Copies of this chain bind each other. A is one copy, B any other.
């Protein structure tokens, strides 16, 4: 019989979010009267912009006509959409040939792991979005889980905590490392400054590293001094790949549309082009994002669509502000809880000193019927933290905050 891929036997617990969902289901089954509110998964809740929805609806109807029908498109995405993404988000810093449309940032990260294979060194921010680590383990770029719970063999964890202002100590990163950086950060919400990113880019160029820059929350940046793309930083074109998404700004979590940017100057050690291998990944192992979703993406990038996306993000940012105010309340303060919210990302990250993340998760689920995400699920340095997501209907967030404000810790 065929041996199990050791990448899977090395993986320990289940993927974080299905585990959160499982605990929620179990709780709901045991407490059928409970009105559970989720501040857990970063899942958009507000209806799409009618303008964007209509574009997709019209496109879908058009597929039933000879003029509107379209079969396979270019695997890299429709040219008009690639050009529009370049124009709107990367004016002068990346062109359409460097932009690849996809079915979302998470799927792109998995494909990036296929691109680099098993022989690459990996460093991640700790805490971090779980796919960077889990996908590295699956592909064999990491080994087994360490028995002390400090993560996987072969992955360098870079603590990002209040003590270092959530920016990693790069001196721990070896040469020729694939370095996952997420900004605005999931889960901490920290958003890198221009100076921090310049430090990062200079380090990567000096040490042969490639940065996988996950900018999926870029649309939440409201502080104009903060860069929205790594390619705003001089030198990034020789050391970075950017992954991005329509999921959060356009509410496309279920529609599925994202993109990556791989600059033509980015090279492997043998001088060959990373963009060319990435093109090969996209054409050989992928078959393009849904043409209907791409029609929606194009509508999201016209004047009305851009306005609608901004309004949608504003809505969630206002939720985040409510959650932050609640976590600054006297009951939390009395327990020494410290909540972090930058106003440039959708997550509120809160430390519960002396407690385990899953313990706090269970407490809040039980006492408030509110689902959160345990910080320890994002990495060893996430222990004792809880991530509160600002994605939710306003009235649900308000109700959750009302319950949380009465929580006895």
Binding site for B on A (CB under 8 A): 1-9, 11, 14-15, 17-18, 41, 43-50, 52-54, 56-58, 60-66, 68-73, 103-104, 106-107, 110, 114-120, 130-131, 134-135, 138-140, 176-178, 208-210, 251, 253-256, 267-270, 272, 277, 280-281, 283-293, 296, 391
Question: In the complex the two chains form, what is the Cα distance from A56 to B60 in whole Å?
Answer: 6
Bound-state Cα–Cα, A104 to B72, Å: 11
- B71–A49 contact, CB under 8 A? no
Q: Is the pair A63, B44 in contact by a Cβ cutoff of 8 Å?
A: no
Asked if B293 and A292 make an inter-chain contact with CB atoms under 8 angstroms apart, the answer reads yes
Q: Residue A107 contacts which of B269, B280, B286 (CB distance < 8 angstroms)? A: B286
Contact A71 B44 (CB under 8 A): yes
Q: Are B2 and A284 in contact (CB under 8 A)?
A: no
* Separation of A6 and B58 alpha carbons in the complex (Å): 44
Residues of B within 8 A of A284 (CB): 15, 110, 130-131, 134-135, 138
Whole-angstrom distance between the Cβ of A219 and the nearest chain B Cβ: 16
Q: Determine the chain B residues whose CB is within 8 A of the CB of A104 once the complex forms.
A: 287
Given A1-B267, A2-B208, answer yes or no on A69-B251 (Cβ-Cβ < 8 Å): yes
In the bound complex, how far is the Cα of B10 from the Cα of A117, in angstroms?
Answer: 13
State how many angstroms separate the Cβ of A24 from the closest Cβ of chain B.
14
Please state if B18 and A285 are interface contacts (CB–CB under 8 Å).
Answer: no
Assess whether B3 is in contact with A138, with CB atoms less than 8 Å apart: no
B178 touches A107 (CB 8 A): no
On whether the beta carbons of B63 and A53 are closer than 8 Å, the reply is yes
Instruction: Assess whether A4 is in contact with B45, with CB atoms less than 8 Å apart.
Output: no
Cross-chain contact A288 with B256 (CB below 8 angstroms): yes
A117 CA / B113 CA spacing, docked (Å): 13
Q: Do residues A285 and B47 form an inter-chain contact, with CB atoms below 8 A?
A: no
Given A56-B60, A291-B255, check contact A285 B138 (CB 8 Å). yes
With A135-B284, A277-B8 known to touch, is A289 a contact of B1 (CB < 8 Å)?
no
Q: Is the CB of A290 within 8 A of B254?
A: yes
Interface centre among A18, A41, A104, A287 (most CB of B within 10 A): A287
Q: Which of B2, B15, B253 contacts A210 (CB under 8 A)?
A: B2
**Residues of B with C-beta under 8 A to A269:** 1-4
Q: Give the contacting residue for A115; candidates B5, B64, B270, B283; CB below 8 A.
A: B5
Set of chain B residues within 8 Å of A256, measured between Cβ atoms: 103, 287-291
Flag if B72 contacts A43 (CB, 8 Å). yes
Q: A1 touching B60 by the CB < 8 A rule?
A: no
CB of B48 within 8 A of CB of A63, answer yes
Report the nearest B residue to A53, measured CB to CB. B64
A55: nearest chain-B partner, CB-CB: B60
- Cα(A290)–Cα(B17), bound, Å: 19
CB pair B71 A15 closer than 8 Å: no
Contacts A3-B269, A56-B292 known; 19 new A-B pairs at CB < 8 A: A1-B267, A2-B176, A2-B210, A2-B268, A4-B277, A5-B115, A11-B280, A15-B280, A15-B283, A46-B69, A56-B63, A63-B254, A72-B254, A106-B287, A107-B286, A110-B286, A114-B114, A254-B291, A292-B293
Q: Are A290 and B287 in contact (CB under 8 A)?
A: no
For A75, the closest partner residue in chain B by CB is B18
In Å, the complex CA distance between A72 and B256 comes to: 9
For A54, the chain B residues whose CB sits under 8 A away are: 61, 64
Q: What is the bound-complex CA distance between A291 and B104, given in angstroms?
A: 13
Q: Which residues of B contact A115 (CB under 8 A)?
A: 5, 8
Q: List 5 A-B contacts (CB under 8 A).
A: A1-B176, A45-B71, A53-B64, A73-B254, A290-B290
Closest residue to A393 on the B side, CB-wise?
B66
CB <8 Å contact, B3 and A281: no
Task: Give the contacting residue for A68; candidates B47, B118, B130, B270; CB below 8 A.
Answer: B47
